[in-house]
Amino acid sequence: MGLLYRRNLRAYRTHKCFAKTPAVARQLAQLGIPDVQVAPVGLDLSVIPEVKESTEALRETRNLPADKTILLFVGRLDEYKRPLEALRLLSKLPGAVLVMIGTGSMDAEVEREARNLGVWDAVIRIARLPNDQVQRYYAACDYYVNFNDHEIFGMSLLEAMYQDCAVLACRAPGPDFIIEDGVSGFLVENTDAMAALARSGVRPVPGAARKRILEHFVWTNTAKQFDEWLTEANGRRENGTDQG
């Protein structure tokens, strides 16, 4: 790994580099890499359905309660995703329901902790779902919650925001870049702060989350950055000004 790392650094220092977040771009700059441009990962809208059903209809067809706050956790049930924090959040919100989509090494621990906290009956576990159905859960739920405080990016954040599900996320490089705090979603320091926001019923500015995604986090926009750079680089080569 050390050999690969040093080889890659040598290549990075002599080539154009694209980084998916400003945090990664800063790390590369600190390593002496001179030409770094932020080009974030994006959604491929050709494979994401437009959800046209109302929230009420989506809840009815999925046996979700119509009159309760519904939290949504999507991801691996592994330590780095901190799924137990979702249960602790639920315990601070009497009457709320938590939908957990995913499976992993902590399956048994999640159930055990939910029972210990007395919230097991308010947890809906779904191990796996096709992506088009996950999109409908985003649209059906009130809050998408993310507890990974080392989240490098967060594709599920993009999907939730695109479906206008209010995002509550612990601060980390990915969420800090994606979310405009208080506008297109909400950034928090801990589970207590997340619970306070959920209790308040706070919502993003109407339309701001989807607007944020469409303007900055779809693949067509990222491809445009690549294309612009390639066009510029080819122009320099044709003019004999590019020595790379």
On the question of pLDDT at 244 being above 60, the answer is no
Considering the domain boundaries, does residue 235 fall inside one?
no
Residues 33 and 150 in one domain: no
Same domain as 135, residue 26 = no
In a domain, 53, yes or no: no
Residue 238, in any domain of the structure:
no
Query: Does 93 reside within a domain?
Result: yes
Predicted local distance difference test score (pLDDT) of residue 241? 63
Q: Please state the domain count of the chain.
A: 2
Whether pLDDT at 238 is above 80: no
**How far from 186 is each of 53, 56, 190, 196, 215, CA to CA, in Å?**
25, 24, 12, 12, 19
Q: Are residues 22 and 80 in the same domain?
A: no
pLDDT score recorded for residue 233: 79
Same domain? For 109 and 209 the reply is yes
**Is 78 inside any structural domain?**
yes
Tell me, yes or no, whether 161 and 203 share the same domain: yes
pLDDT in tens, 201-218: 999 999 999 999 999 999
Instruction: Clarify whether residues 123 and 16 are in a common domain.
Output: no
Question: Which domain CATH number covers 142?
Answer: 3.40.50.2000
241 lies in a domain? no
DSSP string, 137-194: HHHH-SEEEE--TT-S--HHHHHHHHTTPEEEEE--HHHHHH--BTTTBEEESSHHHH
**What integer pLDDT is reported at residue 234 of this predicted model?**
82
Per-residue pLDDT tens digits for 186-195: 999 999 999 9
Confidence (pLDDT) at 76: 95
**DSSP codes joined into one string, 190-237:** SHHHHHHHHHHT--PPTTHHHHHHHHHSBHHHHHHHHHHHHHHHHHHH
Mean pLDDT of the chain: 94
Residues 18 and 70 in one domain: no
| Residue 220 in domain | no
- pLDDT given at position 239: 74
Range of the domain at 16: 12-39
Q: pLDDT confidence of 243, banded at 50, 70, 90?
A: low
Of all residues in the chain, the percent with pLDDT exceeding 70 is 98
Are residues 88 and 33 located together in one domain of the fold?
A: no
Q: Does residue 235 have a pLDDT over 90?
A: no
pLDDT tens for 155-166 read: 999 999 999 999
pLDDT digits (tens, 9 = 90+) for 143-157: 999 999 999 999 999
Helix (H) or strand (E) segment spanning residue 56: helix 55-61
What digits encode the pLDDT tens for the residues 110-151? 999 999 999 999 999 999 999 999 999 999 999 999 999 999
